[in-house]
Structure 1
Amino acid sequence: MDALAGLLEGPRARGAFMIRACFDPPWAVRVEDRAPLTVMLMVRGDAWITPDTGPPLRLRAGDLAIARGPDPYTCADDPATPPQALILPGAECSYPDGRPLQGSMDLGVRTWGDRLGGSTVMLIGTYLMQGEISGRLLDALPPLLSLPGDVWECPLTSLLMEEIVRDEPGQEVVLDRLLDLLVIAALRAWFSRPEAAAPAWYGALADPVVGRVLRLLQDDPAHPWTVASLAAKAGVSRAALARRFSELVGEPPMTYLTGWRLALAADRLRASDATLDSIARQVGYGSAFALSSAFKRVYGVSPQEHRARAADDAPLVGARP
């Protein structure tokens, strides 16, 4: 598993919020859902995404934008248009004054807005989960990024348009996987652009020595790795590996491995009921005590506290506008 796949491996989309939005100007929607990641794909017309801090971003047909949570933003036909609806955590929807919309903007299966033939059509996919595995990648993204249609053609637009309005058994799972594919394709395209400022580990994956070591660590974190054993696998000396890994990744191999193991543990605490001892063995710690000590040192809370907080913060994935 490479580090880009780490965004979606583990806490993949599960019951993600996906919708086709159809509007006629003037329109504006205020988004305060605190979702970790939202993808917006323009199918027809134009839109502006205006974060609370930073300049507005214009989207034209064929453009794609990704908003990294939890900061709020407004999506509208024009930055000056006042919001007509408010999106809250759990995909709940209300008027700006707090009154529930109660389906007044529903236009059919996963379709929402003014009218089906609206001059603006946007496909929106929102991840409602939190996951520590994806933290390294999400931290590398700006709060708002875009891929213009003239430099990147989305390979999934027509399929998404067909599938998003289907109401068949298993359809939610189909849409979850399509959203995963859309995000992976978009992030690959984004990180290939010079303005993306990709994180050090992303570029290091292409290195014949460090890239191999990164994949070894990511694929088998429970193995009792040492710098010596990693160097032997990579066919270099310990000193050469330590120097090259630190230069390209920004930290020593064992420091990276510790961070990866703890990220895995944090996500498994959030996503499963497995015992702490079981999770410790899965991620390379010899005991629950060893994992707990390392976890608290890095995260500032015990594994049990982390799991309890995750349960308290869990979104209401069944809610829909």
Structure 2
Amino acid sequence: MDVLSDVITMMRTGRPITARAQNSGTWSECHGPFPGAGFHVVLSGSCWLVPVDGAPVALTAGDVVLLPRGSKHYLKSVPVLPADSLSGAPQAQPAAQDTPVDLLCGAYRLDQERTHPLLAEMPAVVHLPASVGNRPSLRAAVDLLGGDLKEAQPGSSAALTSLLDLLLIYIIRAYTAEEAARSGQRGWPAALEDPAIAAVLQSMHEDPAKPWTVQELGARAGLSRAAFARRFSALLGQPPLAYLTWWRLATAARMLRETDAPLASIATRVGYSSQFAFANAFKREFGQAAGGYRKRWREEQQTTAVPAMAG
């Protein structure tokens, strides 16, 4: 599995949710907050996305928006409606839109306790404007999703989940590629576009249990130990072995959530020589024992319903 897919698999919990909606005239919808990442796709027409903090974003047909932290926001026919006035001053009544807006809205539930640095670095609103000939994979996923929601076919339920997974991958892939081209100096987008550092991240993700040393990781990158450590830290803001420890414990947390594997087995599979060493490391990172984490997670899954994105 490549690093980006691995990150998404690690953070995802439960099935994504989605709905297709049409609005016309003067309208406003409140979305979020949501314990994960929300998204919107404008299939036709135009509207505005208005964050609680931040400037309104104009959306047109083909635009895709990701809210990596599920922050509260509004979708509106116009950026300010009369009821939105913060000053109390009277607002002019906006003209109703004659053209209906066709929207695809949804959300992915993510583990809020172990947000991957890649997602944590992303802005609250990631806007990918439509562009002819640009992001063909993303456009294809959007078209397939819209078609499947418009006219259900046999197998649509299974297809929808897979298409939503693809959509998330293509959104983040497009963002990282474009952000790396803009900044080019540091951060996860730049690291994933850097062949040497990307190769090291791949090695860590494929075999977190291996007793990696900075020397070995540097060799994977084709760099000296010192040059590799500087380059990794400059791009990602932390030393290589610090990220490796983070990834090992994030992997352990996923295994605790999704499997019944004994703690000793999990400890071995993520690179700890003993269950005692693993237990101490997990408690330092999560603030609770591994067994307690598993129990609490399962109790929450039984009692917590997934909230809808729109309200």
What interval of TM-score do these two structures reach, taking the shorter chain for normalisation?
0.7 to 0.9
User: How much does 1:129 deviate?
Assistant: 4.0
The question of 1:260 aligning with 2:247 is answered yes
The question of 1:21 aligning with 2:24 is answered no
Is 2:48–2:57's contact at 8 Å kept on the other side of the alignment?
Answer: yes
Query: What is the CA–CA distance in structure 2 between the aligned matches of 1:304 and 1:197, rounded to whole Å?
Result: 42
Is 2:176–2:190's contact at 8 Å kept on the other side of the alignment?
Answer: no
Is 1:13–1:177's contact at 8 Å kept on the other side of the alignment?
Answer: no
Is 1:131–1:270's contact at 8 Å kept on the other side of the alignment?
Answer: no
From 183, 189, 193, the counterpart of 2:178: 193
The question of 1:136 aligning with 2:117 is answered yes
Query: What is the CA–CA distance in structure 1 between the aligned matches of 2:221 and 2:30, rounded to whole Å?
Result: 50
User: How much does 1:46 deviate?
Assistant: 1.3
The letter for the 2-side match of 1:316 is: A
The letter for the 2-side match of 1:164 is: L
User: How much does 1:126 deviate?
Assistant: 1.1
Is 1:28–1:82's contact at 8 Å kept on the other side of the alignment?
Answer: no
Is 2:11–2:116's contact at 8 Å kept on the other side of the alignment?
Answer: no
SS in 1 for 2:261: coil
State the partner residue of 1:49: 49
The letter for the 2-side match of 1:9 is: T
User: How much does 1:9 deviate?
Assistant: 2.3
User: How much does 1:141 deviate?
Assistant: 1.1
From 283, 286, 291, the counterpart of 1:296: 283
Higher relative contact order (CA 8 A, sep 6+): 1
Query: What is the CA–CA distance in structure 1 between the aligned matches of 2:309 and 2:198, rounded to whole Å?
Result: 42
SS in 2 for 1:155: helix
User: How much does 1:277 deviate?
Assistant: 2.1
1:1-321 matches, within 5 Å, as 1-12=1-12, 14-81=14-81, 119-130=100-111, 135-150=116-131, 152-153=134-135, 154-168=139-153, 170-194=155-179, 200-314=187-301, 315-317=304-306
Q: Deviations over 1:134-154 (max 9, x none)?
A: 522220111112011137452
5+ long unaligned stretches in structure 1: 84-116
Bigger mean CA offset, 239-248 vs 282-291: 239-248
- Mark the CA change 1:25 to 1:223 in structure 2 (over 3 Å): closer, same or farther: same
Structure with the largest fraction of helix: 2
Query: What is the CA–CA distance in structure 2 between the aligned matches of 1:197 and 1:35, rounded to whole Å?
Result: 29
The letter for the 1-side match of 2:34 is: R
The letter for the 2-side match of 1:261 is: R
Aligned-residue RMSD, C-alpha: 3.0
- Mark the CA change 1:196 to 1:31 in structure 2 (over 3 Å): closer, same or farther: farther
Query: What is the CA–CA distance in structure 1 between the aligned matches of 2:166 and 2:114, rounded to whole Å?
Result: 18
Query: What is the CA–CA distance in structure 1 between the aligned matches of 2:112 and 2:6, rounded to whole Å?
Result: 10
Q: Deviations over 1:174-214 (max 9, x none)?
A: 11111111122122222233497586243223434333222
State the partner residue of 1:95: none
Q: Deviations over 1:265-316 (max 9, x none)?
A: 2222233333322222221122332122112222333323433443354452
Number of matched pairs: 288
- Mark the CA change 1:36 to 1:209 in structure 2 (over 3 Å): closer, same or farther: same
Bigger mean CA offset, 281-290 vs 223-232: 223-232
Query: What is the CA–CA distance in structure 1 between the aligned matches of 2:295 and 2:131, rounded to whole Å?
Result: 46
Percentage of identical aligned residues: 36
- Mark the CA change 1:241 to 1:69 in structure 2 (over 3 Å): closer, same or farther: closer
- Mark the CA change 1:70 to 1:304 in structure 2 (over 3 Å): closer, same or farther: farther
Q: Deviations over 1:191-243 (max 9, x none)?
A: 23349758624322343433322211111101122223334444444334333
